[in-house]
Amino acid sequence: MPMKPRLFSSALGLVVALLTGCSILPDSGSDPARLYLLKAPTPAAAPRVAAPSVQIRPIEIASYLRGRPIMVRRGDNEIEFRDFALWGEPLELGVARVIREELFARGAASVVQVAGGRRDGGTPDFALTVKILACEGRADGEVFFRAVWELSKTGAKAPPVGNGDYRPGDLRWDGKTEASLVEQLSLAAGGLAGEIAAALMK
């Protein structure tokens, strides 16, 4: 039975409205999230051929740091998650990348293997373990970063050749912008790598 003109016109108008003005699908272009990456602070340099090789074992991080949002600590027991300021990669991978780049740039290693990544062949001279216990800003502008690390020779039961509990105390961010916080956390990760590099170069 043919559709009456008035009914057909109403149905057509409803379809047009749904297609043009009343989309129920989310607008993927309206996401305000910003992504951030840690950056190695030391300019890249060619690694020394005579330097040792190092394997960075999977970096452990505190459980509250495993999410994507960058965080700001307010007092001793309150943490604010910046839901629209996200890490562009898992934090443990970002720290491992900075350490790798810094060891090369400082001439402390000729080969750096990151566990789970591509192997460059051969057994490394040293193995590095790192645990990130804190990596955030404080509302008052302080940067709160803490990492414990241990460097040991591979295949040996000798004592570690180096270890540390790294906590920079002189870094501050502007207390407002996440870009400022990430810049300072990058310096903190670079400082951690500096301690490790010093142990390798003894």
Q: Is the distance from CB of 179 to CB of 191 less than 8 angstroms?
A: no
SS3 of 30-89: HCCCEEECCCCCCCCCCCCCCCCEEEECCCEECHHHCCCEEEEEECCCEEEEEEEEEECC
Kindly list the structural domains of the chain, giving each domain's residue range(s) and its CATH number in brackets, ordered by start: 33-200 (3.40.50.10610)
Q: What is the full per-residue pLDDT of the chain (202 aa) written as tens digits? A: 454 555 445 544 444 443 344 434 444 455 688 999 999 998 877 666 688 999 999 999 999 999 999 999 998 889 999 989 999 999 999 999 999 999 999 999 999 998 765 555 678 999 999 999 999 999 999 999 999 999 999 876 777 889 999 999 999 999 999 999 999 999 999 999 999 999 998 8
pLDDT reported for residue 23: 38
pLDDT reported for residue 173: 97
pLDDT reported for residue 159: 79
Exposed, middle or buried, 190 (CB in 10 Å: 0-12/13-18/19+)?
A: buried
pLDDT reported for residue 119: 57
- The model carries a pTM of 0.81
Using alpha carbons, select from 37, 169, 52, 171 the residue that is nearest to residue 103: 52
